[in-house]
Amino acid sequence: MVTSISYLFDPVLLGDDARKLLPDNYVIRPLAQDDFSKGYTDLLAVLTTVGDVSEAMFNGKPHGAGLPTYYHVSHFNAANPCEHTRVSSLPATTAAITPRKDTFQSMLSSRNYYIVVVEDLAARRIVAHIEDVVVAKDQQGKKLGSIIVNQLLDLAKALGCYKTILDCSPENAPFYNKLGLVEKGLQMARYY
127 forms part of the interface with ligand ACO (CB under 6 A): no
Q: In the set 24, 131, 170, 189, which binds ligand ACO (CB under 6 A)? A: 131
Min CB(129)–ligand ACO separation in Å = 9
Q: Is 148 left (phi over 0), alpha (psi -120 to 50) or beta?
A: alpha
Min CB(84)–ligand ACO separation in Å = 44
Of all residues in the shown chain, the one whose CB is closest to ligand ACO is: 145
* Euclidean distance between CA atoms 88 and 42, whole angstroms: 12
Q: Is 107 left (phi over 0), alpha (psi -120 to 50) or beta?
A: alpha
Tell me the backbone φ, ψ of residue 80, rounded to 5 degrees: -145, 85
C-alpha radius of gyration, the chain, whole number? 20
**Contact map string, positions 142 to 161, toward ligand ACO, x by CB under 6 A:** xxxxx---------------
165 forms part of the interface with ligand ACO (CB under 6 A): no
For residue 29, the cross-strand partners are 117
Q: In the set 23, 66, 141, 185, which binds ligand ACO (CB under 6 A)? A: 141
Q: Which range touches ligand ACO (CB under 6 A), out of 28-36, 68-76, 89-97, 173-181? A: 173-181
CB-count exposure of residue 49 (10 Å: 0-12, 13-18, 19+): exposed
Min CB(111)–ligand ACO separation in Å = 40
Q: In the set 49, 140, 150, 151, which binds ligand ACO (CB under 6 A)? A: 140
138 forms part of the interface with ligand ACO (CB under 6 A): no
* Euclidean distance between CA atoms 17 and 15, whole angstroms: 6
Element at 71 (helix H, strand E): strand 70-76
- Residues binding ligand ACO (CB under 6 A): 130-135, 140-146, 166, 168, 171-172, 174-175, 178
